[in-house]
Amino acid sequence: MSFNKLKFYFYLFVYSRLKHTKLMTQNMKSPNNGFLGEIAKYLMVNFNKIIINDSVKKLNIKKNDKVIEIGSGNGQAIDEMLKLTKQNITSIEVSEKFRTELIKKFHNKDVTFFSNDAKDLNGIFKNNTFNKLLAVNVVYFLTPLNVYANEFYRILKMDGEGLLACKFDGIKKFDNSTAPNRDLKDVVKVFQNAGFKVNIEFVDSNNEQEKYHLIFIRKLKNGK
Ligand SMILES: C[S@@+](CC[C@H](N)C(=O)[O-])C[C@H]1O[C@@H](n2cnc3c(N)ncnc32)[C@H](O)[C@@H]1O
pLDDT digits (tens, 9 = 90+) for 18-54: 989 999 999 999 998 899 999 999 999 999 999 999 9
Residue 146 domain flag: yes
Q: Verify whether ligand 1 is closer than 6 Å to residue 117 (CB atom).
A: yes
- Given a cut of 60, is residue 224 above it in pLDDT? no
Cβ neighbors of 189 (< 8 A, separation 6 or more) are none
Nearest CA to ligand 1 atom 14: 71
Q: Verify whether ligand 1 is closer than 6 Å to residue 156 (CB atom).
A: no
Residue 16 domain flag: no
Please state, for a pLDDT cut of 90, what percent of the chain lies above it: 90
Residue 119 domain flag: yes
Q: Verify whether ligand 1 is closer than 6 Å to residue 30 (CB atom).
A: yes
Residue 24 domain flag: no
- Given a cut of 70, is residue 223 above it in pLDDT? no
| CATH code of the domain covering residue 137 | 3.40.50.150
What pLDDT, in 10s, does the model give residues 102-153? Answer: 999 999 999 999 999 999 999 999 999 999 999 999 999 999 999 999 999 9
User: Tell me, what's the pLDDT at 4?
Assistant: 86
Q: What is the mean pLDDT of residues 149-178?
A: 96
Residue 165 domain flag: yes
Evaluate if pTM is beyond 0.75: yes
Total count of domains within the chain = 1
Q: Measured in angstroms, how far is the CA atom of residue 26 from the centroid of ligand 1?
A: 11
- Given a cut of 60, is residue 84 above it in pLDDT? yes
Residue 54 domain flag: yes
- Given a cut of 80, is residue 1 above it in pLDDT? no
Q: Verify whether ligand 1 is closer than 6 Å to residue 48 (CB atom).
A: yes
Query: Domain span at residue 210?
Result: 50-219
Q: Verify whether ligand 1 is closer than 6 Å to residue 174 (CB atom).
A: no
Planar angle of CA 130, 131, 133, nearest 5 degrees? 75
Q: Measured in angstroms, how far is the CA atom of residue 224 from the centroid of ligand 1?
A: 27
Ligand 1 pocket mutation pick from 24, 26, 30 by most atoms within 8 angstroms of CB: 30
For residue 28, the ligand 1 atom closest to its alpha carbon is 1
Mean pLDDT of the chain: 95
User: Tell me, what's the pLDDT at 209?
Assistant: 86
